[in-house]
Amino acid sequence: MENRYFNPKVELLNKEELKDLQLKRLKAVLNKVYRRVPHYRKKFEEAGVKPRNLKTLEDIKAFPFTTKEDLFVDYPFGLLAEPLEKIVRLHTSSGTTGKPKALFFSKRDIWAQAELIARALVMTGASSRDILQNSMTYGLFTGALVMHYGAELLGMLVIPAGPGNTERQIELMQTFGTTCLHMTPSYALYVASVIQSKGLSPKRDLQLKRVYLGAEPYSEETRQKIEEMLGVDVFNCYGLSEMGGPGVGFECPAKNGLHIWEDAFLVEIVNPETGEWVKEGEVGELVLTSLNRTAMPLIRYRTRDLTRFITEPCPCGRTHVKIARILGRTDDMFIIKGVNIFPQQIEAVLMSIKGVAQNYQIILEGYDEMTVRVEIDREFFDGRLERLLALKNEITEKLRQAIMVRPKVELVEPGTLPVSEGKAKRVIDKRTL
């Protein structure tokens, strides 16, 4: 069955053929939203463009961006490109206005996204013989259900565990021989630490082979830590509800960036300030256009995620564009003493230091004060103050070198900080406005 979801005629297309396919689909989707979505027709006309102006892929630069604010115009059904009777599912994503973003799926959209997941799972080496324990949150968010449908499409046995109840998670792994996990990186770290604390050997007591991580940015150091603790391959999974959920981008075994399926998405990276395309290899904001969604296609959607293109050919042979792991979001960045800082920079340092456990928290207070609270291995609380002080100094100095700011560092015992079973809240901003 899995061979069905490796399609060399699509995944190994040469660049020119891939661009031809994208151009054909892009013309179709622009025509559709212009005809059926009054909001897009108005935006196009205000920008002085019509679908017929698109002759090449580069012409997309003349078309307006879609932002999260557009999702609240004529809310909730204003961006539908199909009649309501053809809509079979609603998912939501958080919005800053107090209302959730409403994302709609037709039956075709559901199975098209599931097929992208099946394609991605096969790319990592999974097959119908695998057992996937899905520990993402089921419900209005896309993460769990979209992965669930894709894994079932491939023929995998899916355990819809959801997040939390870690003892039960481990029991499920042991009882049913789970080979693949799908969860957030922060929760994966916690589960790995509990497995270790129980004296279980992943190689002896579990059958895990792969862990798929998504829903929140994380560092390469975190990936390596999870791989070492669980003895598995960890694959980065990228998606967002506005583009159909997980499966937009996925790592292959080369683990050098995420392939984005270009038959389904047009990919741009722009300067967040100017909106212009960045130079090849430069970091910018990821912009996506859905090419095969029917219910609610989005044109030039500004994701707020920061990344860059990876242009070297991939050892796996797939020709679809690759992006680097997400550095962070434009709205994740905070400024301390004039320095732009992303949480992932701090995480990368912490996860590379021997003695640091799985959890940390960044607290911003006062005018320009930052405290990093770090859980460390319990053995450091053995009464030898000099050892504890040396670790604290090492963390402080390595953070200073990485972010050019010297933070206050507090070391705490494992289990002190709140455990996140969904998306981790790493930054607590208490600063006065």
Reported confidence tier of residue 2, pLDDT bands at 50, 70, 90:
low
Residue-level pLDDT at 5:
85
Please indicate, yes or no, whether residues 399 and 321 belong to a single structural domain of this protein.
no
Residue 23 and residue 18: Cα distance in Å, rounded? 9
Q: Domain with 388 in it: what CATH number?
A: 3.30.300.30
Please indicate, yes or no, whether residues 290 and 158 belong to a single structural domain of this protein.
yes
Please indicate, yes or no, whether residues 316 and 379 belong to a single structural domain of this protein.
no
**In the predicted structure, residue 128 carries a pLDDT above the cut 70:** yes
**In the predicted structure, residue 105 carries a pLDDT above the cut 50:** yes
Query: Which range has the worst mean pLDDT, 167-176, 188-197, 343-352, 375-384?
Result: 375-384
Please indicate, yes or no, whether residues 152 and 297 belong to a single structural domain of this protein.
yes
Residue-level pLDDT at 432:
59
Residue 216, C-beta contacts closer than 8 angstroms, at least 6 positions apart: 184, 185, 186, 423, 424
Please indicate, yes or no, whether residues 391 and 250 belong to a single structural domain of this protein.
no
Residue-level pLDDT at 98:
63
Please indicate, yes or no, whether residues 221 and 106 belong to a single structural domain of this protein.
yes
* Structural domain containing residue 418: 334-429
Residue 232: alpha-carbon gap to chain centroid: 19
Please indicate, yes or no, whether residues 314 and 344 belong to a single structural domain of this protein.
no
Please indicate, yes or no, whether residues 266 and 139 belong to a single structural domain of this protein.
yes
Reported confidence tier of residue 343, pLDDT bands at 50, 70, 90:
confident
Please indicate, yes or no, whether residues 56 and 82 belong to a single structural domain of this protein.
yes
Residue-level pLDDT at 97:
45
Reported confidence tier of residue 271, pLDDT bands at 50, 70, 90:
very high
Residue where one domain finishes, among candidates 330, 360, 380: 330
pTM equals 0.86
More confident residue, 380 or 128: 128
Domain count, the chain: 2
Q: Describe the crossing of helices 107-123 and 143-154 by its angle, rounded to 10 degrees.
A: 70
Please indicate, yes or no, whether residues 96 and 143 belong to a single structural domain of this protein.
yes
Please indicate, yes or no, whether residues 306 and 343 belong to a single structural domain of this protein.
no
Name the amino acid, one letter, at 427: V
**In the predicted structure, residue 388 carries a pLDDT above the cut 70:** yes
Query: Which range has the worst mean pLDDT, 19-23, 318-322, 338-342, 369-373?
Result: 338-342
Please indicate, yes or no, whether residues 341 and 323 belong to a single structural domain of this protein.
no
Residue 84 and residue 106: Cα distance in Å, rounded? 9
Reported confidence tier of residue 404, pLDDT bands at 50, 70, 90:
confident
Reported confidence tier of residue 126, pLDDT bands at 50, 70, 90:
very high
Q: Domain with 198 in it: what CATH number?
A: 3.40.50.12780
Q: pLDDT (tens digit, 9 = 90+) per residue, 206-226? A: 999 999 999 888 889 999 999
Q: What mean pLDDT is reported for the chain?
A: 92
Residue-level pLDDT at 421:
65
Residue 204 and residue 226: Cα distance in Å, rounded? 17
Residue where one domain finishes, among candidates 330, 350, 370: 330
**In the predicted structure, residue 433 carries a pLDDT above the cut 60:** no
Residue-level pLDDT at 335:
81
Q: pLDDT (tens digit, 9 = 90+) per residue, 84-102? A: 999 999 999 864 446 889 9
19-54 in b/e form (b: 16+ CB < 10 A) is beebbebbeebbebbbeebeebeebbeeeebebeeb
**In the predicted structure, residue 16 carries a pLDDT above the cut 60:** yes
Residue-level pLDDT at 145:
96
Residue 209 and residue 234: Cα distance in Å, rounded? 9
**In the predicted structure, residue 278 carries a pLDDT above the cut 90:** yes
Residue where one domain finishes, among candidates 313, 330, 347: 330
Residue 302 and residue 268: Cα distance in Å, rounded? 9
Q: pLDDT (tens digit, 9 = 90+) per residue, 18-28? A: 999 999 999 99
Residue-level pLDDT at 96:
43
CA-to-CA dists, residue 185 to 130, 182, 188, 412, angstroms: 21, 9, 5, 21
